[in-house]
Structure 1
Amino acid sequence: MDLTQFLPEAFKKIPCHMDYEGQKRAEQYFQVIIVLFGVVGFIWGYICQQFSQTMYILLAGFALSCILTLPPWPMFRRKPLDWQKARPDPAKESEKDSSASSQSSQKSKKKK
């Protein structure tokens, strides 16, 4: 069952893809943000002698990285792949040809 049929048209028009280069950049941004906030949180928690401060800062970094990397922002969709066109299926082509020829022969019989 396809649930997209129940969505309003405005939601269907929102792009929800990310190219491969964008995925790579999003992963790198995520890792850098988590490491930076982890290091800063560890240092601040050590200074304050409060492990909870470390966790709050790390959670803030996680939330920021999720906001920046999970949605398919336009900066992650700059290099889309050019896919090749699908080759026609020979079985379907022969079915179309045979059905077209049978329909034309039926029309010619009706004319007589």
Structure 2
Amino acid sequence: MLSIFNSIPTHMDYKGQKMSEQIFQGIILVCAVVGFVYGLIIQQFGCTVYIVLVGFVVSCILTLPPWPMYRRHPLPWQPVIPENGAESNQKPQESQKKKKHK
């Protein structure tokens, strides 16, 4: 059951994060302006709030999940160079541990 959750990608690259932030701000801004104008025309502040809340929900759906469009530019990480395998499996010696102060 947990393997299903491990297969879901949970990362975004830096360009994807920037694009996600721009989309989020753009949707909120457009909905705020449209909501303000519409609420001003019909003289109902509640409609303005509802329009902004709908824009917030839409922007959350579009920007919070790591959609594939946010993962197009992965960073080229350097390959892992293993150190001496025999030494890496050993526990640290007692002399290397920090002593507790009394």
TM bin, normalised by shorter chain, reads: 0.7 to 0.9
State the one-letter code of the partner of 1:19. Answer: D
Q: Secondary structure at the match of 2:72?
A: coil
Q: Secondary structure at the match of 2:51?
A: helix
**1:28 equivalent among 22, 26, 50:** 22
Pair 1:96 & 2:90 matched = no
Looking at both structures, which has the greater relative contact order when contacts are Cα pairs under 8 Å and sequence separation is at least 6?
2
**2:49 equivalent among 39, 55, 79:** 55
Give 1:1-112 correspondences, 5 Å limit: 8-89=2-83, 93=84, 96=86
Query: Whose helix proportion is higher, 1 or 2?
Result: 1
Q: Which runs of 5+ in 2 are unaligned?
A: 90-102
Report the RMSD for the aligned CA atoms in angstroms. 1.8
Q: Which runs of 5+ in 1 are unaligned?
A: 1-6, 100-112
- TM-score where L is the length of structure 2: 0.79
Mapped partners of 1:48, 1:87: distance in 2: 66
User: Which is higher, the Rg of structure 1 or of structure 2?
Assistant: 1
- CA deviation map 1:12-64 (0-9, x unaligned): 10111111110000000000000000000000000010111000000000000
Equivalent pairs, count:
88
